[in-house]
Amino acid sequence: MCGRYVIYSDSEYEELQNIVSDTEKNLSCKSGEIYPTDKAPVIINNRLTSLNWGFYTYDSMLIINARSETVDSKPMFKTAFVKRRCLIPANSYFEWKKEHDTKIKYEIGLTKKSLFFMAGLYSVFSDKKNNRYIGFVIITTQANDNLSHIHTRMPVIIEPGYQKTWLDNTTNDSSILKNILKPYNSNMTTFKISS
- Active-site position among 12, 29, 86, 95: 95
Please name the fold of domain 4-194.
hypothetical protein yedk fold (3.90.1680)
Cα–Cα nearest to 165, from 87, 76, 112: 87
Three-state SS at 150: coil
Q: Where are the domains of the chain?
A: 4-194
Q: Note the pLDDT tens digit of each residue in 118-133.
A: 999 999 887 677 888 8
- Active-site position among 2, 12, 86, 107: 2
Q: Note the pLDDT tens digit of each residue in 84-120.
A: 999 999 999 999 988 888 888 999 998 877 889 999 9
Q: Is 95 a catalytic residue?
A: yes
Query: CB of 121 within 8 A of CB of 85?
Result: yes
pTM assigned to the model: 0.90
Q: Is 15 a catalytic residue?
A: no
